[in-house]
Amino acid sequence: MPWNLTLGTECAVGDRAILYALGRIEIGTRATISQGAHLCAGTHDHRRADRPLLTPPIHIGPDSWVAAEAFIGSGVTVGQGAIVGARAVVMKSVPGGRTVVGNPARALSEC
């Protein structure tokens, strides 16, 4: 749904990246989404029997980097200048300037 996608100036989206924009996805100025990364702005309410679609937005801040094959879940904000390491799984927001790695993603200093 391209109408749910906003790309900032000078941002870059790599080959095979998936921008699954069921909800809003905003990629900030000069942000990089590397090859094979998956931004998924859609999920389901598993607590209900009918599992309705939920579409919390994803915000990727200016000058941030989502490295190769990382996964960003719905409702996540990656703050300005933050780095999400290759193949990390991010289900909670990442503060600006922080580097996270792993599954689940944790601050580099915690690993």
User: Residue 84: which of 95, 18, 42, 16 has the closest Cα?
Assistant: 95
Residue 100 placed within a domain: no
* pLDDT, tens only, 42-89: 999 999 999 999 999 999 999 999 999 999 999 999 999 999 999 999
User: Residue 19: which of 66, 51, 62 has the closest Cα?
Assistant: 66
Residue 24 belongs to what domain range?
Answer: 1-44+52-77
CA torsion angle for 77, 21, 63, 65 (degrees, to 10)? Answer: 90
Residue 105 placed within a domain: no
Residue 102 placed within a domain: no
Q: Judge contact between 40 and 73, C-beta under 8 A.
A: yes
Judge whether residue 111 has pLDDT over 60. no
- What pLDDT is recorded for position 108? 86
Q: How many domains does the chain have?
A: 1
Residue 29 placed within a domain: yes
- What pLDDT is recorded for position 110? 64
Residue 72 placed within a domain: yes
Q: How many residues does the chain have?
A: 111
Residue 95 placed within a domain: no
